[in-house]
């Protein structure tokens, strides 16, 4: 069974100051995991992790990762603003966007971020906004299906991202004519993979493609970006990936493909989000109601507005009833929130200990794509975010929304000019 990184006693202490629901993050776990990743790829002197800001867009979290040597992978204007506010500068920022507005490219250029072009037409589009940098990256979409052995991992041919193989050659030649001297190559071919083979297989594709492109165009490849896609064990019976085995698999591919081609100076980049933060966050909620009709329901003060993955994807998140970890799981429940949507369920037919009103529930593995995907349907307000620090203290790193926040964009109207928010 999954064990929470926080005790019932600590939660009770936190709740005296900050009521549920809230997302809680484990600083110790985040730092240790970042160091494991760095160690696994220490064989590559240029290695850098560009944390996917979209996964957990909180400056306190980003600053922890910055302290651990990570960069920031941004995909929008506001994510660039977050990165700048935290202190990321220049090539510490990777700008990987799609359907990119003019102002986003302009801001990325202002910050001297590395631009990762998602489409060949974006080259001319960007050139009308700012001078072309000496170093740029191109995102590759090989099309078809991405397989490991005989297992289909995903279907890049259906994805909206990236350039085709022919467009890579065309794009590099065009960029060389614009003064670009150094290139990066990037691809994301599968999400939440739970095999140690994903990164090494992706690396082989990118390394081989880079060698071909170098021979075709003479381009110098400064880095190859393996992007994200390394998953985490949401289910308790699943085993985590072995990041050291993954790093070693990429190293072997590097020595087999890049080094013999005279490309042994290529840096390896990653853009992990889920792997970096997922297990080191949880959603803490209190049981408000129980309902017994055709099924037994447990109603929480949290809802899909706080964690939409189960409603959106049918995703599994393990649940611990705090203080009842050792009791038998002999009751079957649907665990729900209060949205006017029947898919607002954190668990369906889940076997758990007997739950009582007032119990605290920890919903595991919400550190990435948890709070970040929140929304305000039904007028629900986003929760607080709290950091459990290494020394056992805790810090509010985002306050909970209030009705004043919800109505703030309507304050210009006559309807709300007299509201006392």
Provide the 3-class DSSP secondary structure of residue 196: coil
Helix ranges, 181-263 (H):
198-217, 243-253
The whole-number pLDDT of residue 421 equals 52
Strand (E) or helix (H) holding 127: helix 121-127
At which residue do the structure tokens 């369920």 appear?
A: 345
Question: What tokens appear for 75 in the block?
Answer: 């995909």
Alpha helices per DSSP H over 136-242: 165-177, 198-217
**H helices within 41-113, ranges in order?**
59-67, 77-86, 102-110
Q: What is the mean pLDDT of each run of 10 residues along the chain (421 residues)?
A: 96 98 98 98 98 98 98 98 98 97 98 98 98 98 81 81 97 98 96 94 97 98 97 96 98 98 98 98 98 98 96 95 97 97 97 98 98 95 97 98 91 66 52
Give the separation between CA 123 and CA 34, rounded to whole angstroms: 34
Could you give the C-alpha distances from 22 to 112, 130, 309, 316, in angstroms and in order? 35, 42, 16, 19
**What is the distance between the alpha carbons of residues 254 and 130, in angstroms, rounded to a whole number?**
34
- Which tokens sit at 106? 């302009």
Class of CATH domain 279-402: mainly beta
Residue 159 φ/ψ, nearest 5 degrees: -85, 145
Residue 154: predicted pLDDT: 77
Query: For residues 187 and 118, what is the distance between their CA atoms, to the nearest angstrom?
Result: 10
CB 376 within 8 A of CB 410: no
User: And the tokens for 155?
Assistant: 């279907």
* Chain-centre distance for alpha carbon 133: 27
CA distance linking residue 338 with residue 350, whole number of Å:
18
Q: Which of 367, 374, 368, 369 is nearest to 337 (CA)?
A: 374
Report the pLDDT value the prediction gives residue 146, as an integer from 0 to 100: 83
Tell me which DSSP letter residue 188 carries.
-
d(CA 373, CA 306): 8
Is 340 marked active-site?
Answer: yes
Segments making up each domain of the chain, as ranges: 27-272, 279-402
Give residues with Cβ within 8 angstroms of 168, minimum separation 6: 138, 140, 185, 209, 213
pLDDT of residue 3: 96
DSSP string, 355-395: --TT-EEEE---TTTTGGG---GGG--PPEEEEE-TTS-EE
List the catalytic residue out of 70, 74, 282, 340: 340
* Cα–Cα dist 26/5, whole Å: 7
Location of structure tokens 């599994």 = 316
Residue pair 234/193 in contact (Cβ under 8 Å)? The answer is: no
Can the peptide bond before residue 21 be classed as cis, meaning omega within 30 degrees of 0? Answer: yes
Q: How far apart are CA 396 and CA 401, in angstroms?
A: 13
Query: Does the model's pTM come out above 0.75?
Result: yes
CA contacts within 13 A on the Cβ side of 343: 10
- Coil, helix or strand for 215? helix
Second-level CATH architecture of 27-272: Alpha-Beta Barrel (3.20)
What is the number of residues in the chain? 421
Please report the pLDDT score of residue 240 as a whole number: 96
């Amino acid at each position: 069974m999954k064990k929470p990184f926080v005790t019932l006693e600590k939660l009770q202490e936190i709740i005296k100051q900050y009521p549920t629901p809230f997302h809680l993050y484990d600083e110790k776990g985040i730092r240790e995991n970042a160091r494991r990743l760095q160690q696994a790829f220490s064989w590559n002197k240029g290695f850098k992790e560009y944390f996917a800001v979209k996964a957990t867009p909180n400056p306190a979290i980003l600053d922890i990762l910055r302290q651990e040597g990570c960069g920031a992978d941004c995909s929008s204007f506001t994510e660039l603003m977050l990165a700048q506010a935290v202190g990321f500068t220049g090539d510490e920022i990777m700008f990987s966007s799609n359907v990119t507005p003019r102002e986003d490219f302009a801001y990325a250029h202002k910050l001297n971020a590395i631009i990762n072009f998602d489409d060949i037409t974006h080259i001319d589009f960007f050139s009308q906004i700012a001078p072309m940098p000496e170093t740029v990256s191109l995102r590759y979409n090989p099309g078809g299906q991405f397989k490991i052995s005989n297992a289909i991992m995903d279907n890049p041919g259906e994805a909206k991202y990236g350039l085709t193989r022919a467009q890579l050659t065309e794009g590099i030649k065009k960029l060389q004519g614009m003064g670009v001297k150094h290139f990066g190559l990037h691809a994301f071919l599968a999400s939440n993979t739970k095999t140690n083979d994903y990164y090494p297989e992706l690396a082989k594709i990118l390394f081989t493609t880079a060698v071909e492109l170098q021979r075709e165009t003479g381009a110098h490849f400064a880095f190859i970006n393996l992007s994200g896609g390394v998953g985490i064990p949401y289910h308790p019976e699943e085993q985590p990936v072995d990041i050291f085995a993954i790093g070693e698999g990429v190293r072997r591919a590097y020595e087999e493909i890049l080094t013999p081609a005279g490309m042994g100076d290529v840096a390896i980049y990653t853009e992990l989000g889920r792997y970096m933060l997922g297990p080191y966050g949880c959603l803490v909620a209190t049981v408000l109601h129980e309902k017994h009709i055709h099924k037994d329901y447990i109603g929480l003060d949290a809802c899909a507005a706080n964690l939409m993955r189960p409603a959106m994807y049918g995703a599994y998140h393990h649940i611990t009833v705090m203080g009842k970890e050792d009791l038998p799981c002999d009751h079957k429940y649907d665990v729900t929130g209060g949205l006017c949507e029947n898919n607002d369920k954190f668990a369906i037919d889940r076997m758990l200990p007997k739950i009582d009103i007032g119990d605290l529930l920890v919903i595991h593995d919400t550190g990435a794509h948890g709070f970040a995907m929140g929304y305000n349907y039904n007028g629900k307000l986003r929760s607080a975010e709290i950091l459990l620090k290494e020394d056992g203290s805790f810090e509010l790193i985002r306050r909970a929304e209030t009705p004043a926040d919800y109505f703030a964009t309507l304050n210009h109207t006559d309807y709300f000019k007299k509201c006392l928010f």
